[in-house]
A = this chain, B = another copy of it.
């Protein structure tokens, strides 16, 4: 077999992902939900958050709804109507979740650094 760019392969990166789910895989708390919540903390708006992240409102709304179903508690306090049209505020429990998720990522980030170095040595 002939490989394209023989010997001049692109830089190889290590990726990882962490997320929560039910056993059936239904309902998820991952990067998307985390990012949405982070943005909503600042903007008090699910719409603004989804726009910022470049994902559809429909998906953002559905994702957070599923996450709430998975966790069994609300992540947002929603308000409809008013001059602004409405707001979505992040609940206290959601704030805790954000912090915990960040700590988790932190832990993984640290581990990844060393693990990847070891990995590269091994495949050399």
- A residues touching B (Cβ–Cβ < 8 Å)? 1, 3-24, 27, 68-74, 78, 93, 96-97, 99-101, 103-104, 107-108, 111, 115-116, 118-119, 122-123
Q: Given contacts A5-B69, A16-B108, A103-B119, list 11 more A-B pairs with CB under 8 A.
A: A1-B78, A3-B68, A3-B69, A3-B74, A6-B72, A9-B70, A10-B27, A12-B70, A13-B22, A107-B111, A108-B108
Are B18 and A14 in contact (CB-based, < 8 A)?
yes
Number of copies: 2
- Residues on B with beta carbons closer than 8 Å to the beta carbon of A13: 20-23
- Residues on B with beta carbons closer than 8 Å to the beta carbon of A122: 96, 99-100, 103
